[in-house]
Amino acid sequence: MGEPIRIKSLDPTLRNEVADLMKGFDYSNCLSCGMCTAGCVYSDLMEDHDPRKFIRKIALGMREELVSDPFVWNCNMCERCTVECPMGVNIAALTRAFRGKTAMPPGHLQIIADDHIRTGNQMAVEQIDYDETIEWIEELMQEDLKDPTFKIPLDVPNADFMFGFNAREIKHYPSELQTILNIFHAAKANYTLSSKRWDATNICLFTGKNDEFQEISRPLFEEAERLNPKEIIVTECGHAFRSTRMFARTFWKGKQFPVRHIVELYADWIKDGTLKPDKTRNVLPVTLHDPCNTVRKEGVSEPQRYVLENIVMDFRDMNPNGKNNICCGAGGGALAVAATKGQRMIKAKPKVDQLLATGATIGCIPCHNCIDQFNDMNKHYKLGMKIMHLSPLLEIALGLAEPE
């Protein structure tokens, strides 16, 4: 039996204080029924991983207990609990709001935010390194295309879309960016990259610090205003997509730009015949992970399935999937907190069981955050799978690359 709750220690102002931070999310309808805990796949895996207890502590004003409550930063903010809540209480939004009150987030979270504000991207890539990487990719594409005049379109005004991506695609995975640009070229897309503001990620989606959240995302939209594309397309990164859309609908007061995920663009191109993939080029069985920020939170579930059904011979969906999917265990900023590596592998077990149940050889993971977790679990659990984004599978089906 736990410690008794001392009435004198309760702070009745906490409830309204947190509610004011939530910007329209109401949690006053909580019935204390525990369906949130029943919906959390980690509540039986991790000690004190109980969203019901967390929300009751806020409602009761247990400020001191919450400051040291591990749930605040252990929660993956995946919203699986909200799927089960009969009143639709968004505990992820509640967790984010409470995190925003923290002076110093754990791990590298604040360092990443500070680097992004200082340099314009979360990996602190300097301008010269960005320029040289773009030039290098351009030279590789000129060679592959046998076209020495090919140029990556930088700062082109009035394009159909501006492409916002993840700093990992410059610093660590430039071949992934080349893959995407190969597909854009095959589609004869009228697009542009910014030479200055190109990182669509925002780590403050996880820290809850809205002033820094705005400071990070605003320059991307100011660049969109300068270049005036018809829309913003975001790469295979759930938190970049979610944060860009969230900023657009909550904080941005300038010219409005539709924000779409790259898989939606791919689906449109296949449907209208712009791209004509050959699924027989991908013969191995493929399964699909649904990133929480893309699918459950932003509702993009079918386009990636449509694309896979048209680019692979043997697509095997996980169960459950879509909005009922199981989080990979690395959401909520966990990848940036080194101490959570062991915890992440414990939380990965339900997803590992899903993977194995499909019998698939390839795991398609359309999210940078999730794919790092899947690569870790692939090694930790010795799954022997090939873990890929969706773009390389499409590139193969288009005959732009050979199957590995």
| Annotated domain spans of the chain | 7-99, 109-267, 275-397
Q: What is the pLDDT of residue 287?
A: 98
pLDDT tens digit sequence for 293-305: 999 999 999 999 9
Crossing angle for the helix pair 349-358 and 368-380, nearest 10 degrees?
A: 80
pLDDT for 12 equals: 86
Q: What is the pLDDT of residue 56?
A: 92
Mean pLDDT of the chain: 94
- Give the model's confidence band at 8: pLDDT under 50 very low, under 70 low, under 90 confident, else very high: low
| pLDDT tops 90 at residue 317 | yes
The better pLDDT of the pair 63, 364 is held by: 364
Going by pLDDT thresholds of 50, 70 and 90, the confidence category of residue 238 is very high
Q: Which helix (H) or strand (E) holds 162?
A: strand 161-164
Share of the chain above pLDDT 90, in %: 87
Evaluated on CA atoms 157, 162, 164, 165, the torsion sign reads: negative
Which residue shows structure tokens 């920020």? Answer: 293
By residue count, the chain amounts to 404
Residue that is written with structure tokens 């689906």 in the block: 267
pLDDT digits (tens, 9 = 90+) for 128-155: 999 999 999 999 999 999 999 999 999 9
Query: Considering only CA atoms, which of 78, 333, 108 is closest in space to residue 201?
Result: 333
Q: What's the confidence (pLDDT) of residue 207?
A: 96
Bin 107: left if φ > 0, else alpha if -120 < ψ < 50, else beta.
Answer: left
Lowest mean pLDDT among 51-55, 101-105, 181-185, 325-329: 101-105
Closest CA to 116 of 204, 231, 28, 224: 204
Q: What is the mean pLDDT of residues 202-229?
A: 97
Alpha carbon 340 to its chain centroid, in Å, reads: 18
What pTM does this model have? Answer: 0.95
Least confident range from 51-65, 235-249, 251-265, 313-327: namely 51-65
Residue with tokens 């194995």: 356
Q: Which of 81-85, 227-231, 337-341 is modeled with the greatest confidence?
A: 227-231
Half-sphere exposure of 328 (CA within 13 A, CB side): 33
Confidence of residue 6 (pLDDT cuts 50, 70, 90): low
**Going edge to edge, which strands form the sheet with 161-164?**
191-192, 161-164, 231-234, 259-261
Evaluate whether 38 touches 293 at the Cβ level (below 8 Å): no
| Cβ(106)–Cβ(337) below 8 Å | yes
**Could you tell me if 210 and 204 are in contact, meaning their C-beta atoms sit under 8 angstroms apart?**
yes
Q: Is the pLDDT of residue 237 over 70?
A: yes
Cβ neighbours of residue 133 closer than 8 Å, sequence gap 6 or more: 125, 170, 174
Instruction: Say if residue 87 is exposed, middle or buried (CB neighbours under 10 Å; 0-12, 13-18, 19+).
Output: middle
What gap in Å lies between CA 404 and CA 401, rounded to an integer?
Answer: 9
- Spell out the alpha helix ranges (H) of 228-261: 238-250
Cross-strand bridge partners of residue 108: none
- CA–CA separation, 136 and 174 (whole Å): 9
The pLDDT score that the predictor gives to residue 158 is: 98
Q: How far apart are CA 28 and CA 364, in angstroms?
A: 39
Q: pLDDT class for 37, splitting at 50, 70, 90?
A: very high
pLDDT at 7 over 70: no
* Contact partners, residue 187, CB within 8 Å, separation at least 6: 269, 274, 275
| Amino acid 3: pLDDT | 63
Q: Considering only the top CATH level, what class is 275-397? A: alpha beta
CB atoms within 10 A of CB 332: 26
